[in-house]
Structure 1
Amino acid sequence: MKGVMIQGTSSDVGKSLIATAICRMVANEGIKVAPFKSQNMSNNSYVTVDGKEIGRAQGIQAEAARTVATVWMNPILLKPRSDLQSEVVLLGEASTTLSGRGYREQFYEEGICVIQKSLDYLQSHYEMTIMEGAGSPVEINLKDRELVNMKVAEMADVPVILVADIDRGGVFASIIGTLALFSEEERSRVKGIIINKFRGDPTLFEDGVQWLKEKTGIPVLGVLPFIHNHMIEGEDSLSIREKRFTTTKAVIDLAVVNNRYMSNFTDIEPFFLEEDVSIRLINKGEDLGNPDAVIIPGTKSTIDDWKEMKRKGLASQLKSYYKQGGRVIGLCGGYQMLCTTLKDPQGADTGSRGEEIEGLGLIPASTTFEKKKETIRVEGSYHPSTKLASERIEGYEIHLGKTEYASIDDRCPFLLLHNSREEGYYREDGRLIGTYMHHLFYNDAFRHTWLNQIRVQKGMMKRKRLFIQEQKDKRFDALAHEMKKHLNWEKLWNILQAGD
């Protein structure tokens, strides 16, 4: 197989970002290229066109590669439900829930089979594959049954590029230590080293490059700069960040509830491109203040996160904030929390049958969690009762719960989907919104209208609509261009072409 696997000396060294950039570089060469990560652990998922669920990073890398994301690009997705258990999503569909030990003991052989099947598919449909490892490839307690690093590189028979993060310190020790812990065969597969997140003048690291080459015999393919504000969506909670300004009348203050099991936090990413929007993460009641709006994002454990919000005083503060005229949007799990009652008769959300708890009570509905997960791409328009302009809106749903209203009089639908299904809740000209639709704020018309409502309320000037997809594509090109300047592209290209 032609391609490469990007491995790192540890987590969060920039593997996903580098793989994304290489996908775009290769696509720019006219090559049909696919991203691949055999096993991803993230509550930040991406729904494919056929309604299947994969890791968000591989969905974004597919966009960078100018191809359509499929389950073959991330056949195994682990979605943590607690510190001890994760849901196993196999080829895009929820399969089972296992502990870490249970996963290693029960799933390994099945995992190997589905990974091989995925590699075979990609090899037959693409000219090149850019693969990504996970964490460190030399975790000694896990190496014998790992499904994501050197074992997969061996199965695909691709070379490996080792990435190290110089910003965190200890870059020489992390590289030499990782190489020392490889077997001789594994080490021979490493064909290049990339130093990532360098701040300052790279000529000051020339001696370091020479030292690494002499000590390892492996070429350093580049020293990449610390790229600020690249705006390529992150993969997991390590990538969550705030965008804050000094609070003034000319800035929209958005507070985002930072729940422990937050999922699909990329729902808020479009706001990072809006120049007058400040994003801050809140964890407890005293963090709330008086923002222009509060967003409660999705969560993998709605009831557990809701209990934590109540314990930290955030629930009561949110209720008071809304009653005093505040704006609240609940997405997926956040929508469920806004309801009157949350019921878990089968233990689908908590793992404990029969649990029932009062929600925030702002939406007159009851949410019941079910075993079968809803994973679907959806499109439609705003419900006529919202009196919003007739604009097409699209996104996707990933949820276990079903939200029902006691009577038709309680319903205030937000969306009318293409199958004539009424969805969500919209009240007081959008001061309260609940919806299962992820990707809501990627709909430029909705985000533009919603923000301009806030701007007018604050006495700010309205702004022109920002087109996110155009911005995203420009940023893929900008990222690829910036990284390529600091890479030995000729050597990297030869490594990529070396496969069968």
Structure 2
Amino acid sequence: MKGIMIQGTASDVGKSVICTAICRILSNQKYAVTPFKSQNMSNNSYVTIDGKEIGRAQGVQAEAARVEASVYMNPILLKPQSDRVSEIVRLGQRYQSLSGKNYRREFYQTGIETITLALSQLEKEFDYIVIEGAGSPAEVNLNDREIVNMKVAELADVPVVLVSDIDRGGVFASIVGTLQLLPEHQRKRVKGLIINKFRGDESLFASGKEWLEQYTGIKVLGVIPHLHDITIEGEDSLSMYSHFQQGNSKIDIDIVVIDLPYVSNYTDLEPFRFEEDVQIRFVNRVEDLGQPDAIIIPGTKSTISDIKFLHERNVFDAIIKYANNGGTVLGLCGGYQMLGEVLIDQSGADTGTEGTTISGLGIAPLTTYFYDSKKTVRSEGVLADIPSRTISGYEIHLGQTISRDDSNQPFLFVEGEKEGISIDQGRIIGTYFHHLFHNDEWRTDWLNRLRLQKGVATKDVIWVEKQRDLSYERLAEKVKKALDIESLMTIIEEWERNGT
């Protein structure tokens, strides 16, 4: 298989963004290219066209590569449910939940077989594969049963490029230390180095580049600058807080997003990054709530646990008071479930304990029941208050939410069935539809209502999909300028030809 694997000296060094850039660069050269990550750990997921679930990063990379995302691009997704237990999504479908210890002990062979199957399928369909590693390949306490770094490079039989983040400091030690901790046969697979997130005059690093190449015997393929103006979705919550407008003098609209411990699919909020007059604040303490123009309660992997967290921080009662005083509140997925009166975990799917019951915010007359079966589907619906307008999105949830009053207006009609709830002409909205704010006209209408209430000027529609594609192009252009693509392609071709 022709391809390259991007591994890092640590988490959050920029592997996902570099893989995204390489996917777009190769696509621009008219190659059929696919992203791949064997195992993701994130509650930030992406629903494929056939209603399956993969890591968000590979969905984004598929967009950059101009191909339809599939489960083979991320065959294993771990979704944390607590500090010790994660739900395993295998080939896009819920498999089981295990602790980290039991996962290593019980799932390893299944994981190898799953990864091998996925790689085999992708090899039939694409010219090149761009593989993203996870964390660091030098986790010596885990490497006997790892399925995310060098083991995957061996299964795919591709060379490796090692990325280090110079912005966090210690770049020489992190590169040399990582290489020293690799066994010799794995070290030989590393054919290139990338220095990422460099600030300032690159010429100041010339001697550093020379030293690295002489000491390691490995070519530095590029020094990539710190990219300030590239709006590419983050893989997980590590990158969540830095992505949104804060402290900008142009801010008119202040939106609080409740900062839940088990937040999922925070990329629902990504379109706000393109709204220059909107500030997003992540809040998990009552003293930080203030008087926002709206509160958004996002999705969560553990609704009941996060309700308890809101009680502990006194945020729970503050949301109720805000809504009762006329505030605008929107709940997405788990946030929608929280709006209701009662949540009943009949199967133990949410808490691990059958029959657990907890009171919701009581803002909407809803009851949620949790069952074992999980719904993952791309959906379309028509707005209840504007039947001529269609909303598209996707659903990923275990719960089923029922209104106790049939006279309540739903938010949408999906194939003739009611979905969600809308109260007081949309002041309170709850829906299972992820990607809601990616519906540009609807998002603009919702924001313009807030603008009118605030007495500030309304705005025209910003078409986010077009902006996203421009971001992929800008990213590819900047990375291509900094990265020796010719040498990268030579590494790929020579490895495929010679096996070394």
Shared fold (TM-score, shorter chain, > 0.5): yes
Q: Deviations over 1:233-278 (max 9, x none)?
A: 0011111125344487951101001100000000001001111111
Partner-residue secondary structure (3-state), 1:280 = strand
Amino acid at match of 1:268: L
SS at match of 2:308: helix
Cα distance in 2 for residues equivalent to 1:182 and 1:42? 26
Q: Structure 2 CA distance, aligned partners of 1:70 and 1:5?
A: 19
Q: How far off its partner does 1:460 sit? A: 1.1
Judged with a 3 Å threshold, the aligned counterparts in structure 2 of structure 1 residues 482 and 247 are, in CA distance, closer, same or farther, namely closer
3-state SS of 1:114 partner: helix
2:445 to 423, 446, 449: 449
Native 8 Å contact 1:255 1:291 kept in 2: yes
Cα distance in 2 between the residues matched to 1:297 and 1:495: 43
Partner of 2:219: 219
SS in 2 for 1:380: strand
SS at match of 2:188: helix
> Is contact 2:160–2:192 with CA below 8 Å preserved after alignment?
yes
Identity of counterpart residues, as a percentage? 55
Code of the residue aligned with 1:330 in structure 2: it is G
Match of 2:404?
A: 406
Q: How many corresponding residue pairs? A: 495
- Give the whole-Å Cα distance in 2 for the aligned partners of 1:214 and 1:408: 73
Residue 405 of structure 2 aligns with an amino acid whose one-letter code is S
Secondary structure of the 1:361 match is coil
1:411-463 per-position Cα deviation (integer Å, ceiling 9, x unaligned): 3200111x212100111121100000000000001101101111111111111
After superposition, give the CA deviation of every residue in 1:164-210 in whole Å (9 maximum; x if it has no partner): 00010000000000000111110111010000011111110000000
Note if contact 2:246-2:281 (Cα within 8 Å) is conserved in structure 1: no
**Structure 2 residue aligned with 1:50:** 50
Aligned to 1:77: 77
Aligned to 1:392: 390
Matches within 5 A, 1:163-178: 163-178=163-178
d(CA) in 1 for partners of 2:264, 2:247 = 28
Give the Cα separation in 1 of the matches to 2:215 and 2:86: 40
Q: Which runs of 5+ in 2 are unaligned?
A: none
Aligned residue for 1:408, secondary structure, equals coil
- What SS does the aligned partner of 1:497 have? helix
Q: In 1, Cα distance between the equivalents of 2:145 and 2:218? A: 27
Alignment of 1:114-133 (within 5 A): 114-133=114-133
Q: Equivalent residue for 1:158?
A: 158
Give yes or no for contact 1:250–1:460 (8 Å, CA) kept in 2: no
Q: Distance in 2 between matches of 1:247 and 1:269?
A: 17
CA distance in 2, matches of 1:246, 1:78: 35
Please give the residue correspondences for 1:16-165 in structure 2 after superposition, counting only pairs within 5 Å. 16-165=16-165
2:251–2:279 Cα contact (<8 Å) kept: no
**1:342 matched residue in structure 2:** 343
- Which residue is 2:412 aligned to? 415
CA displacement at 1:343 relative to structure 2: 0.6
Instruction: State the shift of 1:490 in Å.
Output: 1.1
| 1:354 to partner: Cα distance | 1.4
Q: Displacement of 1:24 after TM fit? A: 0.2
- Structure 1 residue 229: Cα displacement: 3.6
Whole-Å Cα distance in 2 between the matches of residues 473 and 434 of structure 1? Answer: 30
- Quick check: 1:357 aligned with 2:358? yes
3-state SS in 2 of match to 1:348: coil
The one-letter amino acid paired with 2:281 is: R
Distance in 2 (CA, whole Å) between partners of 1:123 and 1:436 is 36
**Normalised by the size of structure 1, how large is the TM-score?**
0.97
The offset of 1:225, in angstroms, is: 0.6
Unaligned runs of 5+ in 1: none
CA distance in 2, matches of 1:471, 1:496: 31
Find the counterpart in structure 2 of residue 477 from structure 1: 473
- CA deviation after TM superposition for structure 1 residue 407, in Å: 3.1
